[in-house]
Amino acid sequence: MFISSAFAQTAPAAAAGGDMQSTLMSMLPLLLMFAVLYFVMIRPQMKKQKEHRAMIDALAKGDEVVTAGGLLGKVSKIGDGNIGVEIASGVEVQMQRSAVVQVLPKGSLK
């Protein structure tokens, strides 16, 4: 009594092909934004991360390093996940390998 019957309408045959094209055109800006985001942000970050991992893997005893906390020191011990860094004569601290931010040229510390 209160509910009326609903009938589906068919789309005109000429508009069916154009509808697919308009859907692709509306997705084009989204795809372009993702491509720009990938080349501007994601790819350089992955490259930087790969370089950092290579630097950490190449650490050797006697290297002079800068840590994430700003400490400068010489690597005195190397373990699997951590290193010993001598920050002053007779003062050695243990830290994670990933805390090393930069390897300095030999002779930078005196």
Domain locations in the chain as residue ranges: 15-58, 60-104
Buried/exposed code over 47-70 (b: 16+ C-beta within 10 A; e: otherwise): eeeeeeeebbeeeeeebbbbbeee
pLDDT at 12: 60
User: What is the pTM assigned to this prediction?
Assistant: 0.66
pLDDT at 1: 65
| CATH (residue range 60-104) | 2.30.30
pLDDT in tens, 69-79: 999 999 999 99
Give the whole-angstrom CA distance, residue 28 versus residue 11.
24
Question: Confidence band (pLDDT; 50, 70, 90) for 23?
Answer: confident
Mean pLDDT computed over 62-89: 95
